[in-house]
Amino acid sequence: RKPAKAVKHAVETAAGKVTDALTPDVPGAPGSAPPTVEEPTTPRDPLPPKSEQGTPDTRTPTGATTGVPPIAKGQQGAHLTTAQGARLRDTDHSLKAGPRGPVLLQDHHLREKITHFDHERIPERVVHARGAGAHGVFTGYGSAEGVTKAGFLAKGKETSVFVRFSTVLGSRGSADTVRDTRGFATKFYTDEGTFDLVANNIPVFFIQDAIKFPDVIHAGKPHPDREIPQAQSAHDTFWDFVSLHTEAQHHTIWNMSDRGIPRSYRMMEGFGVHTFRLVNAAGETALVKFHWKPKLGVHSLTWEEAQLISGIDPDFHRRDLYDAIEAGAFPEWELGIQVFPDTPEEIFAGIDLLDPTKIVPEELAPVQPIGRLVLNRTPTNFFAEVEQVAFHPGHLPPGIDVTNDPLLQGRLFSYIDTQLTRLGGPNFPQIPINRPHAPVNDMLRDGYHQQAVHAGVAPYRPNSLDGGNPFPAGVEQGAFVDVPVTVAEAPKVRANPVSFDDHFRQARLFWLSMSPVEKEHIIRAYTYELGKCYHQAIRERQLQSLANIDPVLCAEVATGLGLPAPQPGVPLADVAPSPALSQVGREWPADGRTVGIVVDATSDLDGVSEVRRAVLGAGMVPLLIAPHGGTVGYLPVQRTFATGRSVEFDVLLLAGAPTPAPDAIPARDDKAGAADSVTVDPRVLLLIEETWRHAKAIGAWGDGITVLRQARVSGTPGVVTGDSGPEVFAAVGQLMAGHRVWDRFPASVA
Ligand code: HDE
């Protein structure tokens, strides 16, 4: 694969120095190459017609890489036309009765242009409205052949995919880094029909029965009177709901943990949540849970980073995904399954497999890898692909079937229903991104936005007029056969199984599996969110749930709220922790991470140049931060003290001691640097202060070491110095493998 994000822009001079490693993502930003725009001149030869202007074909040809025609440009052909193809002479002036006269109703072009514009927006998704997507390829390992006949899982079989990541609560324009669950929906365009694995980054759900879905979402969305807060769970209705429906406590503690604020979509796990039923070629069945495991590990932001980024770069996750793929640092996951015997009870190790608020710890049922996903292509058109993609948990190929999980059963109804409004009718499977790659031969006809011109007169069967086609397939022809599961004879009831009543055991399991620093973050998140609630009764009710999870957790949050900690209302569950749930303590590749390097005119520029080369070589992105744009010496600058902010960088290197610009904000008295003769620019001190507070590694050499002293961070954990840039970067690189300098966070609980 191509090494790093910025590599395609790297240019080496004859002297071997990297002179331009990056075009910043902000057009026109210092260091960016001047845009090359083709000026309109005279008519040129038209491009070939867009495929969608040819005869519509709702089937994506076999062998196509995605459901989207490979046409990059909408603006094609020499002459502007109306939607009917009539050439236009003018698109800048409406037709008027004289230059100063009224506009004439007969101006068809004006009406067509404005009317189309007026209807450019479609309703956003009722949940998961904010998202980002990418194309990729999935390769089966063949290891699942014993449990499923699904062809796309065969060894070496490659299948095109489209993935859409999302937040749940916010509107389309909301910030990426809010505290929320993330969607992770994958469309596999398999030869045997499309498979949608519509997953989340949290393995459990708030509710056990789909009938409560409108309730939990009404509670999480902004208040209906003022429509605030946007994309937040820190408000009364959310906590009112989760404290009254205590089955939500397990999902909620995951949201309050670092899982609620991922560092990147590339660094999230994905979970199918429900238990699915697989069937193999011999007709034998097994129950499974699906897991996505990211190659880069599971990593999160700190809460303060997440909040700052919401203002500084609300598109942080969308940008990160796009940049990584464009640079060739392709995001990767392994798909894995936990396999359970398909017994009539559907219970494994005492855990009800139909209860979507429960996990099965990986220590009890290991996740077995069955294939690899690589995202390698960004969308051509966000609306056409990311906005119009329509997932459905019932889109299943032969070999994968559903279970009676009541949440899943409700979803099977909801996803097709919601598209009827959102995508304007029943023909959304014909939208390019939704087209299957398997041949389609249905008898569905007509309806809004029908794209196909169906030939023949007999869309029914059996028929004698269209040659009797189409015929049903048998198992030998690869038909999807519903697993003939026996349905117990039982009275019709509105009730849950008794096993669904245990609401706190697994929330406690999660809490006990966390490292001290992760526990501290959870305490702070609850304290923050409940502190934002207005009603005392809601805080007290939620504290009762926390007492039922763990007395220490409850006491710490109660102290923060200034309330008494209640006693547990249920016996505390005796559960063994699951170390697999913790994000801390392992080492991961640092591909695609961003390294900020502070330089000024006095810096060791050759050293900086060498570091940049090392950073690029390690598959990371170097960004030079300088007092001004343009260049410092022969090195191009990507961020200035005005445009750069610590949250963009995973680590910070200091190669200089920039003094304040005349217009800089004055330094605080306590940072005035009494010990050193040079006073450092306060914006650099802020960079260091934040980087340090967010427990990210800091390195310095040369004059940079002076800066560390002035920032009063010298000698603290994760702050390294050395004689040369490459030496310092090597040490910092090791710290990055652990994601953060965890020792720097206070942890009040063991
Ligand atoms: Fe969804 N969900 N959901 N959900 N969901 C939607 O479908 C719904 C649930 C998930 O990127 C909607 O096309 C119900 C669990 C993702 O386009 C809607 C219930 C999980 C996405 C809907 C659930 C998910 C959605 C809105 C409870 C994880 C975004 C737009 C029974 C396993 C897909 C749409 C995308 C989207 C309904 C619960 C994941 C309204 C009724 C559990 C990733 O149909």
Digit-coded pLDDT (tens) for 202-255: 999 999 999 999 999 999 999 999 999 999 999 999 999 999 999 999 999 999
Cβ-contact 311, 354 below 8 angstroms: no
Cβ-contact 176, 318 below 8 angstroms: yes
Ligand 1: nearest atom to the Cα of 272: 32
Ligand 1 and 169: CB distance under 6 A: no
**Residue-level pLDDT at 20:** 39
pLDDT in tens, 122-142: 999 999 999 999 999 999 999
The SS3 of residue 265 is helix
Would you say residue 379 lies in a domain?
yes
**Residue-level pLDDT at 50:** 40
Ligand 1 and 386: CB distance under 6 A: no
Q: Which of 128, 182, 407 to mutate to test the pocket of ligand 1 (most atoms within 8 A of CB)?
A: 128
Same structural domain, 321 and 173: yes
d(Cα 691, Cα 713) in Å, to the nearest integer?
11
Ligand 1 and 204: CB distance under 6 A: no
* Residue 561 in this model has a pLDDT that exceeds 80: yes
Strand partners, 185: 164, 198
Helices assigned H by DSSP within 180-315: 213-220, 236-244, 249-256, 303-312
Give long-range contacts, CB 8 A cutoff, 24+ apart: 99-108.
Answer: 108/82
- pLDDT category at 651 given cuts 50, 70, 90 is very high
Give long-range contacts, CB 8 A cutoff, 24+ apart: 19-22.
Answer: 19/634, 19/635, 19/636, 20/636, 21/612, 21/616, 21/622, 21/636, 22/621, 22/622, 22/623, 22/636, 22/638
Would you say residue 361 lies in a domain?
yes
Would you say residue 623 lies in a domain?
yes
- What distance in angstroms lies between residue 119's CA and the mean position of ligand 1's atoms? 25
- pLDDT category at 465 given cuts 50, 70, 90 is confident
* Residue 68 in this model has a pLDDT that exceeds 90: no
| Residue bearing the CA closest to ligand 1, atom 1 | 411
For 387-431, give the DSSP string: IT----TT---TTEE----HHHHHHHHHHHHHHHHHTTSTTGGGS
Q: Which residues contact 315 (CB under 8 A, 6 or more apart)?
A: 176
- What distance in angstroms lies between residue 392's CA and the mean position of ligand 1's atoms? 8
- pLDDT category at 3 given cuts 50, 70, 90 is very low
- pLDDT category at 657 given cuts 50, 70, 90 is confident
Ligand 1 and 200: CB distance under 6 A: yes
CATH number at residue 638: 3.40.50.880
Q: Which of 194, 198, 395 to mutate to test the pocket of ligand 1 (most atoms within 8 A of CB)?
A: 198
* Residue 467 in this model has a pLDDT that exceeds 90: no
Same structural domain, 572 and 599: no
Active-site residues: which are they?
A: 128, 200
Ligand 1 and 125: CB distance under 6 A: yes
Cβ-contact 238, 202 below 8 angstroms: no
Same structural domain, 179 and 247: yes
- What distance in angstroms lies between residue 279's CA and the mean position of ligand 1's atoms? 25
d(Cα 331, Cα 5) in Å, to the nearest integer?
12
Ligand 1 and 199: CB distance under 6 A: yes
Would you say residue 442 lies in a domain?
no
Same structural domain, 556 and 428: no
Same structural domain, 233 and 374: yes
ipTM score: 0.98
- What distance in angstroms lies between residue 151's CA and the mean position of ligand 1's atoms? 26
The mean pLDDT value for 446-456 works out to: 91
- DSSP annotation of 438 reads S
- What tokens appear for 367 in the block? 């996740």
- What distance in angstroms lies between residue 89's CA and the mean position of ligand 1's atoms? 47
Nearest to 40 by CA among 5, 92, 2, 85: 92
- What distance in angstroms lies between residue 596's CA and the mean position of ligand 1's atoms? 38
Ligand 1 and 126: CB distance under 6 A: yes
Same structural domain, 638 and 567: no
- What distance in angstroms lies between residue 522's CA and the mean position of ligand 1's atoms? 26
Ligand 1 and 415: CB distance under 6 A: yes
pLDDT in tens, 90-117: 999 999 999 999 999 999 999 999 999 9
Same structural domain, 552 and 601: no
Write down the residue that tokens 């117990």 correspond to. Answer: 488
| Residue bearing the CA closest to ligand 1, atom 25 | 128
Residue 459 sits at φ, ψ, to 5 deg, of: -80, 60
| Residue bearing the CA closest to ligand 1, atom 34 | 415
Same structural domain, 565 and 648: no
**Residue-level pLDDT at 1:** 38
| Residue bearing the CA closest to ligand 1, atom 32 | 199
* Most confident of the following: 146-160, 428-442, 660-674: 146-160
Would you say residue 610 lies in a domain?
yes
* Residue 6 in this model has a pLDDT that exceeds 80: no
Ligand 1 and 435: CB distance under 6 A: no
- What distance in angstroms lies between residue 555's CA and the mean position of ligand 1's atoms? 35
Domains held by the chain: number:
3
Nearest to 251 by CA among 301, 223, 276, 216: 216
* Residue 19 in this model has a pLDDT that exceeds 60: no
Ligand 1: nearest atom to the Cα of 125: 30
Ligand 1 and 407: CB distance under 6 A: yes
- What distance in angstroms lies between residue 127's CA and the mean position of ligand 1's atoms? 7
**Residue-level pLDDT at 745:** 85
* Residue 384 in this model has a pLDDT that exceeds 50: yes
Q: Which of 382, 407, 434 is the last residue of a domain?
A: 434
Strand partners, 182: 167
Ligand 1: nearest atom to the Cα of 128: 29
Same structural domain, 248 and 333: yes
Let me know the angle formed at the C-alpha of 315 by 617 and 624, rounded to the nearest 5 degrees: 35
Ligand 1 and 162: CB distance under 6 A: no
Q: Which of 403, 407, 415 to mutate to test the pocket of ligand 1 (most atoms within 8 A of CB)?
A: 415
The fraction of the chain above a pLDDT of 70, given in percent, is: 87
- What distance in angstroms lies between residue 209's CA and the mean position of ligand 1's atoms? 13
* Residue 318 in this model has a pLDDT that exceeds 90: yes
d(Cα 514, Cα 457) in Å, to the nearest integer?
64
Ligand 1 and 183: CB distance under 6 A: yes
**Residue-level pLDDT at 222:** 98
- What distance in angstroms lies between residue 257's CA and the mean position of ligand 1's atoms? 22
* Residue 13 in this model has a pLDDT that exceeds 60: no
- Among 40-44, 290-294, 464-468, where is mean pLDDT lowest? 40-44
Q: 456 versus 531: which is more confidently predicted?
A: 531
* Residue 46 in this model has a pLDDT that exceeds 80: no
Would you say residue 63 lies in a domain?
no
Average pLDDT of the chain? 89
CATH number at residue 547: 1.20.1370.20
Ligand 1: nearest atom to the Cα of 185: 43
Same structural domain, 627 and 568: no
Same structural domain, 245 and 376: yes
CATH number at residue 178: 2.40.180.10
Ligand 1 and 683: CB distance under 6 A: no
Q: Which of 415, 434, 453 is the last residue of a domain?
A: 434
Ligand 1 and 414: CB distance under 6 A: yes
- pLDDT category at 9 given cuts 50, 70, 90 is very low
pLDDT in tens, 494-547: 999 999 999 999 999 999 999 999 999 999 999 999 999 999 999 999 999 999
d(Cα 257, Cα 519) in Å, to the nearest integer?
8
Would you say residue 106 lies in a domain?
no
Ligand 1 and 428: CB distance under 6 A: no
| Residue bearing the CA closest to ligand 1, atom 43 | 183
**Residue-level pLDDT at 11:** 35
d(Cα 650, Cα 237) in Å, to the nearest integer?
35
| Residue bearing the CA closest to ligand 1, atom 38 | 411
Q: State which residues form the domain around 332.
A: 131-434
Let me know the angle formed at the C-alpha of 341 by 336 and 344, rounded to the nearest 5 degrees: 135
Same structural domain, 233 and 291: yes
Ligand 1: nearest atom to the Cα of 131: 11
Q: Which of 526, 546, 581 is the last residue of a domain?
A: 581
**Residue-level pLDDT at 411:** 98
| Residue bearing the CA closest to ligand 1, atom 41 | 411
Ligand 1 and 213: CB distance under 6 A: yes
**Residue-level pLDDT at 656:** 80
Q: Which residues contact 225 (CB under 8 A, 6 or more apart)?
A: none
Ligand 1 and 166: CB distance under 6 A: yes
pLDDT in tens, 327-380: 889 999 999 999 999 999 999 999 999 999 999 999 999 999 999 999 999 999
Q: Which of 408, 411, 421, 434 to mutate to test the pocket of ligand 1 (most atoms within 8 A of CB)?
A: 411
The amino acid occupying position 357 is T
d(Cα 511, Cα 522) in Å, to the nearest integer?
9
Ligand 1 and 185: CB distance under 6 A: yes
Would you say residue 740 lies in a domain?
yes
| Residue bearing the CA closest to ligand 1, atom 31 | 210
**Residue-level pLDDT at 40:** 56
